[in-house]
Amino acid sequence: MRESIGKSAAKSKLAVLLWPIFAFLLLAGYPASAKAQTPFEGMDRNSDGQLSRSEFRGPQRAFKRLDRNKDGYISRHEASGTRLSGDARRPKQSEKKAPPTASSELIYVDTHNHLVGPRKMGELHLEKSARIALVAMDATGVRINLLMPMPQTVNQKHKLYFEDLLPIIERYPGRFAALGGGGSLNVMIQQVIREGHVTERMEKEFDDRASELVRKGAVGFGEMTAEHFSMTEKHPYEAAPPDHPLFLRLADLAARYNLPIDLHMEAIPEEMPMPPRFKSPPNPRTLTPNMEAFSRLLSHNREAKIIWVHLGWDNTGKRTIALTRKLLAENPNLYVSIRIASGMRQRKVVNPTFPLAEDGRLKPEWLALFQEFPDRFLLGSDEIIKPADDHPSAGSIRSTVSLLDQFPPKLKARIGYENAYGLYKLKK
């Protein structure tokens, strides 16, 4: 036995590292029902498609090595090709199969995600990231994934535009669609904020770019931002009043073209200090209130549908049930997308405004809110998908979609896909 392990080590260092895990599993004695499962499935006690530290039955050094994106979980993708998935080796490139096409079992719509990749000779290469996304989509029942550029600012490095996403949409028809404006309209707003005034020339450029995005097939305007915290040196701080003249203009354009606006905005009901876990600068030391201005944006044109994204990713602790309920009750054109990011506990999520309890169960008060406004919520995982699949948000598609399993069937259908099909005018 030791000789066979030694030979295996010559082929796979990872297999040797993981051998103690499986020795432990044999000694622990899984129940008969689990013996037909892979080791990954046997450990995944809550069946959410990922292994937490408490679920993982092996040494911590193995967990750390397998958790490639360091989000505190081992995803199925990270386990693929290891003994956890029942395969001691990773498949060779020639053995990889093409992503499966859509089937009747793929029904959900994830309304907010990002593909990134290297840019060579002016062209952005997103194929590897798209294939990673398709694996997650097929595993969770997501039929359509809405992609968009991140909200960018003036002179930002690693720019991404709506046009960069079009080759992926064409290559995988029916699986992806895209919003536009994060790399253009949002930049224009940030430019005007710096200059201090809006010119007629800028208004025309803004209108022309919005029209161009619609003509090229954008299903919405996004990702736009009114308050965007800087998480790292490469992650810019951006702010603009939600009732800024160009945001009001965008609302009118959204109403004209009947396309929704995807808006990233931290909740700041009153002046408050920047939460201490964020570095200042580049973030400001004091945050300016934005909720009244947000209400003015919503009331400016009731035909403009605005999606306030990232419910579940609250960085101020102010995005409460009471605030959300009040805004939804007062603004029939407001929608909210839910994000349950992978590894949230490891990232010090603000627990009182997080929809899940410590045991992973949906809090009753949040379920009551979803049931009160069943036609106003959507899924929006906000996973940034890289070719190496090592971004801290990796796994968010799975963790967000898994929330649906805790909903009653009708609510599951409304939030899982019906609302999105109506808002984005998607083809069924």
Long-range contacts of 78-85 (CB under 8 A, 24+ apart): 78/389, 79/40, 79/51, 82/14, 82/15, 82/18, 83/15, 83/18, 83/19, 83/21, 83/22, 83/39, 84/18, 84/21, 84/38, 84/39, 84/40, 84/43, 84/51, 85/38, 85/39, 85/40
Nearest residue to 313 (alpha-carbon basis) of 285, 348, 349:
349
**Ramachandran area for residue 39 (φ above 0: left; ψ -120 to 50: alpha; else beta):** alpha
Which tens digits make up the pLDDT trace of 154-199?
A: 887 778 899 999 999 999 999 999 999 999 999 999 999 999 889 9
Which tens digits make up the pLDDT trace of 358-396?
A: 888 899 999 999 999 999 999 999 999 999 888 888 889
Asked if residues 297 and 247 have their Cβ atoms less than 8 Å apart, the reply is: yes
Taking all residues of the chain, what is their mean pLDDT, rounded to a whole number? 84
Tell me which residue has tokens 């992503």: 99
Is residue 250 scored above 60 in pLDDT? Answer: yes
Which pairing describes strands 238-239 and 272-273: parallel, antiparallel, or unpaired? unpaired
Q: What percent of the chain has pLDDT over 70?
A: 83
The mean pLDDT of 317-331, rounded to a whole number, is 97
Which tens digits make up the pLDDT trace of 13-55?
A: 444 444 444 444 443 444 433 344 678 877 877 666 778 777 7
Give the range among 63-72, 121-130, 140-149, 296-305 with minimum mean pLDDT. 63-72
- Name the fold adopted by 108-424: TIM Barrel (3.20.20)
Distance in angstroms (rounded) separating the CA atoms of residues 132 and 385: 7
> What backbone phi and psi angles, to 5 degrees, belong to 102?
-65, 145
Nearest residue to 229 (alpha-carbon basis) of 194, 275, 184:
275
Is residue 219 scored above 60 in pLDDT? Answer: yes
Q: Where are the domains of the chain?
A: 2-95, 108-424
Which pairing describes strands 108-115 and 119-120: parallel, antiparallel, or unpaired? unpaired
Tell me the pTM: 0.76
Helix or strand holding residue 180 (H, E): strand 180-181
Q: What percent of the chain has pLDDT over 90?
A: 61
Torsion angle (degrees, nearest 10) of CA 199, 201, 202, 206? 140
Query: What is the separation of C-alpha 93 from the centre of its chain, rounded to a whole number of angstroms?
Result: 28
Is residue 56 scored above 90 in pLDDT? Answer: no
The residue with greater pLDDT, 409 or 92, is 409
pLDDT at 390: 85
Instruction: Name the band, by pLDDT with cuts 50, 70 and 90, for residue 75.
Output: confident
